[in-house]
Amino acid sequence: MENKHSGTVGVKKIAQLAKVSIGTVDRVLNNRVGVSEKTKAKILKIIEELNYQPNIFARRLASKKKLRFATLIPKVSEETKYWEAPLTGILQAAAEIKDFGIEVIPFFFDQNNKTTFKESTSKINAEEFDGVLMAPMFEDESIAFIEQCNVKKIPLVFINSDIPGHDNLCYIGPNLYQSGYLSAHIVNYISPANKKTLIVNISREIDLHHHLLRKEEGFRNYFEESGSTNELTKIDIQQTGYAHIQQKLTEQLAKDNYDVVFVTNSRVSTVAKYFEENNIKDVKLIGYDFLEENINHLKNKTIDFLICQKPQEQGYRGLMSLYNHLVLHSTIEKEQFMPIDIITKENYQYYSN
């Protein structure tokens, strides 16, 4: 008996029903030119009616070309384990597509050192890759690498932060501006008129980490657009060791009393640690990311809100987008914004990255 859902028999069945050659059906399945729009529409309708699923595994085995994907993200550090989640998602996707003849090569950089980013991009450029997933953290260096990939016609997927206006396959991650805007809405809700808010950026390369600046832009614009009288102050802490963070917070908090502290990245746990050591309980604390150290401070009520954006799913979907584009020839949505989730002591146990 014919199995209309499998391999060549399925293609033959489609060709018979459409009254075209097998070659014409194959061109439609592989999104190649040479088929009129009318014929293509007819074939696609039959494919949908038959619920036909092409045997991608057999097709990849028959192909002599082995696809190679490079991933470029920050390495996990003692300062923050945020990048452990995207890496987990990448490795999960890599395991799923390995049997289709796809090799995934990971590259890493120190998010506090743009030189390490350039070193990793040089290594990627020295080899042959069919697609690249990257976190474009350092803007100028990322743009230079993007342009090199564009010349080679290598599809690029961005995760976690975007660089709009450049030729990439897609971006998967938060809407950074809206993320900051939402955070400001929370601040305004819990600390309305005539209150004082301290914005804390903790990063060695703040001027180059455009994702932090984009969050801050959204945060400030909320107050401007709403006409709020909430007073905003910002400090940039560019040495990320705890002793230096402790010193800078002590100096700033000696200057003024704040109602809310908003930390623009996952290092909110270091501020929470400082609050606990100094018995600061009357200041609301908001920060980012579903990390163990942050959750512990959330449970202790030191952190009031965490803004989370599914980093593990970003890594998984990023790699699968390259697979879907290059193997399945699927159309990839240019911007795939992740949900902006608000996590509290009451709901953290029901959340996962």
Listed residue (299, 244, 301, 283) closest to 267, CA to CA? 244
Q: Give domain status of residue 144, yes or no.
A: yes
Q: Give domain status of residue 200, yes or no.
A: yes
Range of the domain at 219: 176-308
Query: For the segment 14-49, what is each residue's pLDDT rounded down to a tens digit?
Result: 888 999 887 788 788 777 778 898 998 898 888 888
Question: How far is it between the farthest Cα atoms of the chain?
Answer: 82
Same-domain pairing of 153 and 220: no
Q: Give domain status of residue 351, yes or no.
A: no
Instruction: Count the alpha carbons within 13 Å of 107 in the hemisphere toward its beta carbon.
Output: 23
H or E element that contains 42: helix 37-50
Q: Retrieve residue 245's tokens.
A: 């963070």
pLDDT band at 3 (very low <50, low <70, confident <90, very high): very low
Could you give the percent of the chain with pLDDT greater than 70? 93
Q: Retrieve residue 118's tokens.
A: 């350039």
Q: What is the pTM of this model?
A: 0.80
pLDDT at 95 over 80: yes
Query: For the segment 200-224, what is each residue's pLDDT rounded down to a tens digit?
Result: 999 887 665 678 888 999 999 999 9
CATH number of the domain that residue 202 is part of: 3.40.50.2300
Same-domain pairing of 188 and 254: yes
Listed residue (177, 182, 183) closest to 198, CA to CA? 183
Q: Give domain status of residue 343, yes or no.
A: no
pLDDT at 61 over 80: no
Q: Give domain status of residue 60, yes or no.
A: no
Query: For the segment 168-190, what is each residue's pLDDT rounded down to a tens digit?
Result: 999 999 999 999 999 999 999 98
* Structural domains of the chain, count: 3
